[in-house]
């Protein structure tokens, strides 16, 4: 086995490390590349120095690839190994300490074979922190537990109808993933509308939202949108970040973070439309509540709201009262819930206000539907269809 140090070819100048400075204004933003980033392609001629973590992320992330040749990397006290779908999920590919805390290992994996892997150290299976193409590992760790991601190699071998999920990194303590539909890569420089989705980790793992969206977009590619999954710093802050109009609520600060901190990062990462009508925000339960707040209080940022089983009872129907008091906004709204016991009555009360004020909205009721990710996943296609159906505004 040959171990090497590699130089980096910068594939995406617009991609930045998680601690990189944000553009000072929208006019300073660099248009993202039209090329599918994939993982970093190592040059044929190898350099004598290993790239920094920031350079690796900017170039598309690990593993390094050159044809069938794949080089895995890890940093920190070892020993390290790699287990993946290419070796039967056995930690049989040992990495070698080449300098300092840097470990490298090489394998030959057919370019036509997309694969998943994890790093292994001391019997623990760990996400590759430098990987950007990721997918849920499929293990449901239960309510409140953080899901985990497998890194993906040879992403170009993924079936063309499937999208890809890219780890954007941490933004103000929130883990963020961007899911690109197949159409994003299939067409030259196409810009797409986007939707921010709360409870990002749970949506990707317990909800399997990316897979559900891919099935919809394979059947109706004209509905395609870039989905931005925003995770929580921890479950302990969920109630504060997703609530408004009550003591201890931090929903207004969280919405400000989405508009002022996260959005510039998304624009730098992805080719997305900037018109408010082409920007959506969505969530389930309290995520539906804070999404509705964002749409009504910041129509300059979001022109569509998607709410699944929204917690509109919060603070004695404060959001419903606010919607009644405010002048009508240029806002389209999707509301769903199970009935009769899944926030059905408060959702009906908000729907009544929207109807009285002449909003463009839809109310979906699922008889017997429960307050659970499986039900939200099953209704996701309808929600995403409402976002795009008949709406072609971009910039």
pLDDT tens, residue by residue, 286-335: 999 999 999 999 999 999 999 999 999 999 999 999 999 999 999 999 99
CA atoms of 258 and 242, how far apart (whole Å)? 12
Task: Indicate whether 227 belongs to any domain.
Answer: yes
pLDDT averaged over every residue in the chain: 87
Name the residue with tokens 């079936």: 159
Using an 8 Å Cβ cutoff, are 11 and 41 in contact? yes
Question: Do residues 276 and 206 both lie within one domain?
Answer: yes
Q: Do residue 293 and residue 241 come from a single domain?
A: yes
245 and 105 within one domain: no
Count other Cβ atoms within 10 Å, centred on residue 26: 10
Please check whether residues 102 and 191 belong to one and the same domain: no
The DSSP annotation for 287-355 comes to: HHHHHHHHHHH-TTT-SEEEEES--TTHHHHHHHHHHHHSPPPS-EEEEEEEETTSSHHHHHHHHHHHH
The pLDDT of residue 139 is: 80
Q: Which has the higher per-residue pLDDT, 14 or 334?
A: 334
**Domain end point (choices 116, 150, 169):** 116
Write down the pLDDT at residue 57: 80
* pLDDT score of 1: 32
Position 285 in a domain: yes
Measured from the Cβ of residue 145, the count of other Cβ atoms closer than 10 Å reads 14
| One domain, residues 102 and 228 | no
pLDDT of residue 46: 33
Instruction: Establish if 143 belongs to a structural domain.
Output: no
Q: What are phi and psi of 46, to 5 degrees?
A: -90, 140
Averaged pLDDT for residues 22-50: 48
Residue 144 domain flag: no
Better pLDDT: 2 or 226? 226
Q: 88, 116, 144: which is the final residue of a domain?
A: 116
Q: Locate tokens 């002449």: which residue?
A: 358
Classify residue 145: in a domain, yes or no.
no
Is residue 12's pLDDT more than 90? no
* Residue ranges making up the domain that contains 190: 159-388
Pair 163, 302 in one domain: yes
Q: Which of 21-25, 83-87, 327-331 has the lowest mean pLDDT?
A: 21-25
296 token code pair: 């009504």
Residues 205 and 76 both lie in one domain: no
**What's the confidence (pLDDT) of residue 27?**
41
Answer whether residue 282 shows pLDDT above 70.
yes
Q: What is the mean pLDDT of residues 345-350?
A: 99
Confidence of residue 257 (pLDDT cuts 50, 70, 90): very high
Closest to 147 in 3D by CA, of 67, 206, 216, 189: 206
Q: Does residue 23 surpass a pLDDT of 60?
A: no
Beta bridge partners, 97, equal: 103
Count the neighbouring beta carbons within 10 Å of the beta carbon of residue 67: 12
pLDDT more than 70, % of the chain? 86
Residue 237 lies in a domain: yes
Question: Do 68 and 201 belong to one domain?
Answer: no
Strand stretches in the chain, DSSP E: 64-66, 69-75, 81-84, 93-94, 96-99, 102-108, 115-121, 124-126, 133-136, 149-153, 164-171, 174-180, 194-197, 226-230, 279-284, 304-308, 332-339, 360-367
Query: What is the predicted pLDDT for the residue at 137?
Result: 85
Where helices occur in 151-196 by DSSP H, the ranges are 182-186
Q: How confident is the model at residue 352 (pLDDT cuts 50, 70, 90)?
A: very high
In a domain, 139, yes or no: no
Is pLDDT of 200 > 80?
Answer: yes
Domain count, the chain: 2
Domain final residue, candidates 81, 100, 116: 116
Q: Same domain, yes or no, for 281 and 348?
A: yes
Query: Is residue 22 helix, strand or coil?
Result: coil
Q: Is 214 helix (H, G, I), strand (E, B) or coil?
A: helix
Is the domain of 42 the same as that of 173?
Answer: no
pLDDT at 221 over 90: yes
Output the domain CATH number for residue 238.
3.40.50.1820
pLDDT of 155 reads 85
Residue 177 and residue 73 in one domain: no
More confident site: 130 or 59: 130
pLDDT tops 70 at residue 8: no
Whether 124 is in a domain gets the answer no
Q: Are residues 233 and 180 in the same domain?
A: yes
Torsion over CA: 262, 187, 180, 149 (sign): negative
Angle at which helices 286-297 and 314-325 cross, to 10° = 30
Q: What SS3 class is residue 212?
A: helix
Question: Nearest CA to 15 among 220, 167, 118?
Answer: 167
- pLDDT for 320 equals 99
Q: 48-53 contacts: CB < 8 A, separation 24 or more?
A: 48/5, 49/5, 49/7, 50/5, 50/6, 50/99, 50/102, 51/6, 51/7, 51/8, 53/17, 53/130
Residue 182 in tokens:
């197949």
């Amino acid at each position: 086995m040959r171990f090497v140090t590699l130089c980096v070819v910068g594939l995406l100048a617009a991609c930045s490390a998680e601690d990189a400075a944000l553009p000072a204004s929208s006019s300073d933003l660099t248009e993202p590349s039209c090329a599918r980033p994939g993982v970093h392609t190592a040059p044929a001629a190898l350099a004598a120095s290993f790239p920094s973590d920031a350079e690796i992320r900017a170039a598309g992330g690990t593993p390094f690839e050159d044809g069938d040749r794949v080089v895995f990397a890890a940093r920190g006290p070892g020993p390290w190994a790699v287990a993946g779908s290419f070796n039967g999920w056995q930690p049989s590919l040992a990495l070698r300490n080449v300098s300092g805390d840097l470990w490298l290992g090489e394998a030959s994996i057919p370019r036509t074979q997309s694969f998943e892997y994890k790093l292994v150290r001391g019997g623990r299976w760990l996400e590759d922190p430098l990987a950007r193409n990721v997918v849920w590992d499929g293990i449901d760790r239960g309510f409140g537990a953080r899901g985990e991601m497998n890194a993906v190699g040879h992403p170009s071998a993924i079936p063309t109808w499937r999208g890809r999920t890219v780890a954007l990194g941490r933004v103000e303590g929130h883990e963020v993933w961007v899911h690109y539909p197949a159409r994003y890569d299939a067409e030259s420089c196409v810009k797409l509308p986007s939707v921010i989705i709360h409870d990002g980790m749970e949506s990707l793992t317990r909800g399997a939202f990316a897979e559900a969206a891919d099935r919809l977009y394979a059947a109706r590619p004209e509905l395609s949108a870039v989905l931005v999954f925003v995770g929580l710093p921890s479950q302990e802050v969920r109630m504060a970040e997703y609530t408004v109009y009550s003591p201890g609520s931090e929903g207004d600060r969280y919405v400000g973070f989405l508009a002022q901190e996260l959005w510039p990062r998304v624009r730098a990462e992805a080719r997305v439309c900037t018109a408010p009508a082409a920007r959506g925000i969505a969530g389930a339960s309290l995520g539906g509540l804070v999404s509705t707040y964002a749409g009504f209080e910041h129509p300059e940022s979001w022109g569509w709201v998607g709410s699944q089983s929204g917690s509109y009872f919060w603070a004695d129907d404060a959001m419903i009262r606010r919607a009644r008091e405010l002048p009508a906004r240029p806002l389209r709204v999707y509301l769903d819930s199970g009935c009769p016991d899944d926030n059905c009555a408060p959702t009906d009360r908000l729907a009544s206000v929207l109807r009285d004020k002449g909003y463009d909205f839809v109310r979906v009721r699922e008889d017997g539907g429960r307050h659970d990710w499986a039900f939200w996943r099953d209704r996701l296609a309808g929600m995403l269809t409402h976002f795009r159906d008949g709406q072609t505004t971009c910039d």
